[in-house]
Amino acid sequence: MGGNKVAENMLEKDFKEIVEIIKNQINTTQVLIMSDANKRLIDLYFFVGSIVNDNTYWGNKFIKNLSRIIKIEYPNIKGFSPRNLINMRKFYLETTVNEKVQTLSSQIPWSHNLLIISKISDINERLWYMEKCLENGWSHDVLAIQIETRII
């Protein structure tokens, strides 16, 4: 009977290790899915920004109508307000000036991009903040504080 208890303990230990391995893979996959989703969203915003930019000759009416139609066609999707469409255009214009900025911008959240673009005009400074966001996992609030205090 004592040998059976050793086998049970071994199984529990092995089982716990297997569960930990699976949990680690689940966590890694979740991070990758979120990262991929963010990149695809940023790519979409870049694309829409390019379309808005190419149609500036229509004026604000184009942006208002585009926003309204997207809201009607996709009622559950947020982020296509006239203001955000203007932000997408600005994002498009600001990230096309430097390939590294464009690459890094796809790796950080939209709100981080908007904050950096609106507060930082120097390309090297933008790159620094984008890199620090990635290195340190800065939240939007932490990034805002870093920019406000100009820690560089």
pLDDT tens digits, 93-117: 999 988 899 889 999 999 999 999 9
Q: Using one digit for the tens of pLDDT, what is the confidence trace for 125-136?
A: 999 999 999 999
Is the model's pLDDT at 62 over the cut of 80? yes
Percent residues over pLDDT 90 in the chain: 69
Note the pLDDT of residue 142. Answer: 93
Give burial (CB, 10 Å; 0-12/13-18/19+) of 41.
middle
* pLDDT the model gives residue 41: 93
Confidence of residue 2 (pLDDT cuts 50, 70, 90): low
| Residue linked to tokens 């999707």 | 77
For residue 117, which amino acid is it? I
Question: Is the pLDDT score of 86 beyond 80?
Answer: yes
- Please report the beta strands in the chain, taking only residues with DSSP state E, as ranges in sequence order: none
Among 2-6, 29-33, 70-74, whose mean pLDDT is lowest?
2-6
Domain boundaries, given as residue ranges, for the chain = 1-96, 99-152
In eight-state DSSP terms, residue 137 is T
Interior angle at CA 142, CA 138 and CA 147, nearest 5: 105
Please give the pLDDT value at position 5. Answer: 63
Tabulate helix, strand, coil % of the chain (nearest 5): 80, 0, 20
The answer to whether the beta carbons of residues 67 and 82 sit under 8 Å apart is yes
Confidence of residue 8 (pLDDT cuts 50, 70, 90): low
pLDDT band at 35 (very low <50, low <70, confident <90, very high): confident
| pTM of the entire predicted model | 0.79
